[in-house]
Amino acid sequence: MKKIFVPLLIVSCVIAISSCKKHSNSYTYIHTSNNRQEMAPAKTAVEWLQRLKKDYTTDHYRSDLISRLYSELPPLDQWPAINTQLKEITKDSAAFENFSEGRQPNFHNNGLLQLKLFANLLTEDSTNAEITYRELLQKEPSISYYEYDRTLNNLLLLSGNTEESLAWYKANITKHDNHSSSYSKDKKTPSEKALAANRIDEGIKLLIEEIDSAEIANKASLISKLAKIAYLLDKPKLGEQAMIMLETIIIDCKKNGKHLSSYSYTGSLDYLIQTSQYQRAIDLCDKFQATEAEKKSNRFSSSTFDLNEQKLTALHKLGKTELFEREINKLFEKHKKNPKTFFNILDEKVASEPTIGSFYIELLTNKPEAKNKQKAFNICAHLLARNQGTDAYYKQLIALDPKAATALIASLRVYDPFEERPLIWQAEMALSAGNIDEAETLINQAIALDPSDGDHGKFTRMHCYDVLARICTLQGNTEKATFLNEVVISIRQGEAADDYLYAGLTQEATERYKKALGHFNDAYCLQSRLAKTLMESGKFDEAIPHFKKAFELMPISFGPRESHCFGCEGLFDDVRVQNLALPLLKAFLEKEPENPRTPYLLGLLFEDMKKTPEAIAAYQKAIEIDPQYYNAGKRLIKLLKKDPTNFAKTQALNKKLFEIAPYANKPEYITTPHLLKTYWQAAENFPPSPITIAPISELGFTSTSLSDKQYKKVKSNSHSYSSYYSSSAALDGWSPKELLRKNKFINDAIE
């Protein structure tokens, strides 16, 4: 039998990052609906200057004050009058003090310099803008490791002399050497060591002891881990013990106003859904959720989290349709001025369950009225515009309106030419219509685009191979169909092994990876995961053949925007692994010099080896072979920016990436964000979204913009903050105002 290679990859980590703002007890927090939110652009210079003064004489901190004012500028013919006034206001500290009535709206009291820089940028006066920017930098000459290169790039955008500006920066600005990897490994706890060695009872006992002695911030996370182990090992009594422990600490937090992040305990609530304890999940969510009085008395209590996905999933599973719909409607009313938040909630899911949005679309579809089916289609379309990787949305969209779905899915391919899901579902539609040859062509295009299919959720990966298997069956090629089905089985078993690995049950995970490879030995993802697991268990010699097999498969396992995660998995971190990978990849490059994936992978390897020139050369080679290689371009520009002498090259590469980037990423590559008039015109002429979907207003959402009459002045002793994101961000395409608010130079250099 001819050997068939099907390249695969599983990406295993999703990193959630949360952030918070500093606060002071001397401030009173006022919800932004009581203050100025997004206003329509001013009609005249006089109106805009009135807004400017009102903001600068209001004693509060807004991180996006300048970017918001930029987006509210009047038409260009009004700018000369604004420029004249700004020049007067910022001519010296006395003039600014008089204008702002002695109040500084910015945390570091750099209001004068920030406004002066903004004035320079409006007139595209780069010479004076650079002088002002240098003054701003000298206010805080010590820059963090992460900000150092970006700040230098901003300076070079303004520079009339790259070499002189670079010399000034190095002489005057200090970089904090505070860089540390977010993936640094802590030493294993006693429970982790026992569980990894398959001493399960001992590991569980030690984990419970660690929970008892842990600080409150860590206690809930450890309980979630205990619940996960209970689920994987089918130990219901242990799961019950975990639930009792969880309820005890959260009720204590609620009673005493202690802060506890919901991220630490949602895993435990997921356990209730996974074990079909739906009513208990609802009851616990109701206990944990805060009353309005509690929210007002303690803004940061653990009770403020809504736990929407757990409660809504449980209601759906119990068939409590009316209650489910009532909860959705309450969330809609709560967020009707911010549809982005509402759609984020609909996109949430519990474990391997469908998303809340999928449940909601099902509910609307089952209603008899035609308007509900249209609403279901519109919501489904918006969810797909935000997240093109959810198979359930495609299936529901096609069932609701096949003709409209066909047009929308075709537009999704234009919106993101590197996402394979639209191709897969075009193949599904062709297959349903009996067009087998067309379906085969489409599915092979999808596989070529992303053979690994690693960025999609459990039990949805490798859908392309499932489709191809059905095509082969219809063509009478049962041998290939059987093989492809084995591929999918292998990946499903590998996904199950991942759960055991993340729960710390290393030996069990290892055995499961080996079993999965018995179905398909050429699964890159499983070979690399098994190799790394063996290495971290102290069995490097046993890991070597699996590393070698993985590296041999790598160049055929990725597409132009592959979905692997070398950084978080740390595959090339170990020198021993680097020494294995380098000769194998070089040999593959000699064998297939026209394969752009190999130099790309060499670039990744050289980056981990701290060989930047070699990495740059490798990425350049990849782009030379394939000019549409988006990921190689992203990696290359990141490295080029580290050396200021490459500034001209980075600008040229920015232009190229603007052309090939998915629509949602295009604003990152506008080359002259510091030229505010030019950028303004670029925003006005930005390419429209290729996706045609119902406007947000047709779904019942209301504008967040306030008229000047609704603009309420904040009291001098109050503090307000808000991200001020556009209500329709990335749903209907980039509006000019949204692009202006996302101006990189203003956001990075001024604010």
- CB environment 421-447: b (16+ within 10 A), e (fewer): bbbbbbbbbbbeeeeeeebbebbebbb
The pLDDT score that the predictor gives to residue 222 is 93
The residue whose two tokens read 């604003």 is 667
The pLDDT score that the predictor gives to residue 709 is 39
Residue 663: its H or E element: none
The pLDDT score that the predictor gives to residue 290 is 56
751: which residues sit within 8 A by CB, 6+ positions away?
63, 64, 65, 66, 67, 114
Q: What is the pLDDT of residues 5-45, one digit of tens each?
A: 333 333 333 222 223 332 333 222 222 333 455 678 899 99
* Spatial separation of the C-alpha atoms in residues 632 and 615, rounded to whole Å: 10
Which of 15-24, 70-79, 179-188: highest mean pLDDT?
70-79
* Whether 429 contacts 385, CB under 8 Å: no
Q: What 3-state class would DSSP assign to 157?
A: helix
The residue whose two tokens read 């930005």 is 686
Q: What is the pLDDT of residues 206-225, one digit of tens each?
A: 999 999 998 877 888 999 99
Q: What is the pLDDT of residues 326-366, one digit of tens each?
A: 999 999 998 888 888 899 899 999 988 999 999 999 999 99
Annotate 189-229 with DSSP letters as a single string.
PHHHHHHHTT-HHHHHHHHHHHHHHS-HHHHHHHHHHHHHH
The pLDDT score that the predictor gives to residue 4 is 37
Sorted by where each begins, the domain ranges of the chain are 28-124+688-750, 190-448
The pLDDT score that the predictor gives to residue 56 is 81
Annotate 252-305 with DSSP letters as a single string.
HHHHHT----GGGTHHHHHHHHHTT-HHHHHHHHHHHSPPHHHHHH-TTSGGG-
Q: Which residues does residue 174 pair with via DSSP β-bridges, in sequence order?
A: 142
Q: What is the mean pLDDT of residues 572-584?
A: 87
Token pair belonging to 563: 């979905």
Residue 132: its H or E element: helix 126-139
Q: 32 versus 100: which is more confidently predicted? A: 100
Q: What is the pLDDT of residues 606-660, one digit of tens each?
A: 998 999 999 999 999 999 999 999 999 999 999 998 888 888 899 899 999 999 9
At residue 253's C-alpha, the angle toward residues 251 and 255, to 5°, is 65
Half-sphere CA count of 319, side-chain side, radius 13 A: 0
Token pair belonging to 738: 């949204």
Token pair belonging to 510: 């290892």
User: Residue 184 — very low, low, confident or very high, per pLDDT cuts 50/70/90?
Assistant: very low
CB atoms within 10 A of CB 244: 10
User: Residue 265 — very low, low, confident or very high, per pLDDT cuts 50/70/90?
Assistant: confident
User: Residue 370 — very low, low, confident or very high, per pLDDT cuts 50/70/90?
Assistant: confident
* Spatial separation of the C-alpha atoms in residues 460 and 444, rounded to whole Å: 18
Question: For residue 311, what is the DSSP state?
Answer: H
pLDDT exceeds cutoff 90 at 251:
no
190-448 carries CATH number 3.30.1240.10: no
pLDDT exceeds cutoff 80 at 109:
no
Among 448-462, 577-591, 638-652, the least confident range:
448-462
Token pair belonging to 104: 């500084």
Among 161-175, 276-290, 319-333, the least confident range:
276-290
- 124 phi-psi bin (left φ>0, alpha ψ -120 to 50, beta other): left
Q: 211 versus 293: which is more confidently predicted? A: 211
The percent of residues above 90 in pLDDT, for the chain, comes to: 46
The alpha carbon of residue 513 and the mean position of all alpha carbons in its chain are separated, in whole angstroms, by 28
* Spatial separation of the C-alpha atoms in residues 254 and 252, rounded to whole Å: 5
The alpha carbon of residue 195 and the mean position of all alpha carbons in its chain are separated, in whole angstroms, by 32
